[in-house]
Every structure is written in C-alpha cells, then in structure tokens.
Structure 1
Amino acid sequence: MFEVSFEVLALLLIAAGAAGFIDAISGGGGLITLPALIMAGANPLTALATNKIQGLFGAATAAISYARGGHVDLRKQSTPALIAFVASLLGALLVSVLPTDFIRWLLPVLLVGIAIFFATKKGLNDEDRQQRLSPVLFSLTLVPLCAGYDGLLGPGAGSFYMLAFVSLAGFGVLKATAHTKLLNFSSNAGALVAFAVVAPPWLFTGLAMGAAQIIGAQLGARLAQRIGARLIKPLLVLISLILAAKLIWDMI
C-alpha cells in the first residue's frame, strides 16, 4: 500500500510531525520533510509533489486553529487565498520557463535580511501597527508575488509572507502568522496541482505524513497562540538563517 517500507515510513512520520510543529509557528517545515523524502528514495519532483500533499494538512490544521482563536477570518480571506492558489499554480507551471538561477543566488541574501529585520526591529509584538497598503492592494500585489514564488521555488515563502504582513499590512506577529498559514495552504494546493501533472506523488505516504502533520501543527499553533511573538520571532529568525545557510551549501 505504502510506497516505502514501514521502517522508512515511521521515520517520515516523525519528520512530518516535527515539521508540522515548526511550520505552524514560523514556517520552514520543508527543511525537514523534503530532504527526508529524498533520502527515502523519492526523485526530486516526486519529493516536491509529496511534500506539498503532506504540507497541505499541516497548513490547513494551523489555519483552522488560528481561526478558532480569532486571529484570522477564513471567509474574509477567501479572495486572497484564491489569488494565492492561482499564482502558485502559475509559478509552478513556469518553473521550466523562467530563469531561476538568479533567484536562487538572491534568496540567501533576502532570508538573512528578513532574519535581521525580525531580530532587530523594535516594537514588533502581537499588536497591529500602521497599515501601509490597503487590503485590496496587498491582495493584488504581495499575495500573488509571494504565492508565485512559492510555486516557482518554494523555500522561504512563509518568511516572505510574514515580512509582507508585518511590514506592509501592519499585522502583529501572531496575526501575521495566522494569515501566513492560510495562504501557505492555498499556495501549496496550487503548486500541488501543477506538480502532480509532471510527477505523481507518493499518495499514500503523503497522506500518512499529512496525519502526522495534523498532530504537529495542532501542538505548534496552540503553543504559538499561548506565547505569541516571544516564540514566533526567534524561531522565524533561526529558520530563516538555517534556510539561507542550506541554500548556500546547495550552491557550492
């Protein structure tokens, strides 16, 4: 039934649970699950598609948990979520057309910049700040930009969403995290549709990992809502720096 042995599946479930926990708080769970899938024997495209399947469950669980806590209104955010789905789908379809080498070299610099911003910016807490873009303009510009990147490449998309929500939408850190999880879910779904066309995922393995993601995401979202920015900020800084280091390592 499963595409891997039960021993390998058990390790993948542990990886997915840990990824769901981290992803619900700061993003970056793919740093755990994607290498785990490749080490389990999946080719890169199959690993990407399977990673999107299991990631859907974690992102959806976190978004619902944050919605229940009153940090995101799922109905009001349905239009940005739809935009994210379409933009991510298009980004994934254009991966073989657009030049991505320059973006790969630029990414570590951007991620380090995001880490510095969240580490040094004074007054970043769970309180909303001054809004720099209207919700409509934000949805028509930053949402498709971040989601399109998520479909095109993916690493660090959650960090980019967070930066946009905090610096331009004026959201507090916890509220920004809640909205990021919803858009992560939509952009994951869009990319999955595109990836599934060219590389069928490990369906049953992905679904099993999704179940583990649900458990991890529930725990992570609850902890984030209890502690807020004091937990989210340092973990976001750490994940951004680790991801930047990994991207640099992959290129040398």
Structure 2
Amino acid sequence: MYEERPSRLDGAVVWTRTMDPRGGPVHPVLPDGCMDLLWADGRLLVAGPDTHAYSPTGSPVTRYAGIRFAPGAAPGMLGVPAHELRDRRVDLADLWGGAETRRIAERIAEAADPVTGLEAVALRRAADAGAPDPLMGEVVRRLEAGGTVAGAADAVGLGARQLHRRSLDAFGYGPKTLARVLRLQRALALVLAGVPYAEAALAAGCADQAHLAREMRDLGGITLSAYEASANNETPQPSGSRTTA
C-alpha cells in the first residue's frame, strides 16, 4: 500500500509504502527530477536524481517512509551537489557522518511514525540551509509548463554555460535532460488519466506518439503499454516514490 500527502516543507511530499513480505513484482522507478530522503526498515538513505529507470535490488524491505523534494530543493539541505548523487542510492551516513545519522535514527524511532520523524529532520535542515536557488526554481517552473530551455535561460538571465553548470548542482544533470524528464512525466500523467497516447504526446510537448514512445524507452526502459499495465496493476503511486533496498 502506498500513501502520500503534501509536506509542511514547501514543494515536498511525504510518503509511505508497505510491501507484501511474501514478495511480488518489482516495478521500475522512472526519472522525475526529484530526490528523496528515505527510511527503509530503519536504514536511512538518499535517492539521487535519476537519468534512467531504477529497479530496486538487494535485501527485501517491507516498510518505507520518504520525503520527496521538488527538483533543485534537496542539494542545499543535504549539503552536496545533486550531480554527485546522480543515479545513486547512498547511505545518509556517507553524507552526514555516522554519529549524526545515528542521532537522526534515534529521533525517528522516538517519533509517532517514521515519516513524521523524517519530515521533522528535513524541516530543521532546510531552515539551516536557507532557500534553494530561486533562479533554478524559476527554470523548473518554466520547464514544467512546457517552456524551452532557451526561454528559461533568457527568463533568468543566464547564459547556456552558466545555466548548465548551475543545473548540474541543482538537478544532477543539464536543463535539456530535466526538460525531457519533466515532459515525460507530463505525458505519463495524462496516459494514466486515460488520455490516448497520441493526444498525451502532443499535449505534453512531444512531436508525436512515436517521439513519446522513444522517450519512454530511453528514459524508462519500457514501453508505454507496459508502464500503463504496471501502474494499473499496482497500488497507486507516483513514479517518483523511490523504494530501494
């Protein structure tokens, strides 16, 4: 079972997921531009930004809690550029040290539930780190709305090289990759809402259905029909809920 709600931290979502201990199909996590702070059966992890579908591996985990940060919002709080975590799942201790991570784990254990404890940690760290880069926030808003990378660069007053460099730190990859990821997410949201593939492709900003199908294979590693079937056969959850082991 998967559940989520808006976080008290602006732009973030907190979520929980309980797995069947008897096992079941493993569904890939598609790129969404986000990063997550995870509690997995007591283990604290960070899921970096993905450039391709991620399939959970390793020892089975039965209970997850997570806080999913909007694109560009996590690096300041975590204290590490996003590109250093690209396509990676790392122990929180590798970023914040063993002693600090143990203290956090103890506070989470004392909280009403793991997701409440994680949210409290994120709120404290975010307050100390200050607001994310506002220019990168504007880039995200424009790309989410279907704008071009060139248009976003002009809007924030950055040259192509400056935008790319700051995007690596904020998102883990360049603005063109972020635009592709966000476009795919727009299309998939429409597909899951019942919009035909061809209409979803055009509405999301793809040239045609074939273009969307290629993007799905390149970024997601599966076909549109396979993704739709997988999503319909599982407890509803967004592609960004980064279960891992």
Q: TM-score range by the shorter chain?
A: under 0.3
Structure with bigger gyration radius: 2
TM-score (norm 1): 0.26
Which structure has more strand as a fraction of its residues?
A: 2
Say which structure is richer in helix: 1
Q: TM-score, normalised by structure 2?
A: 0.26
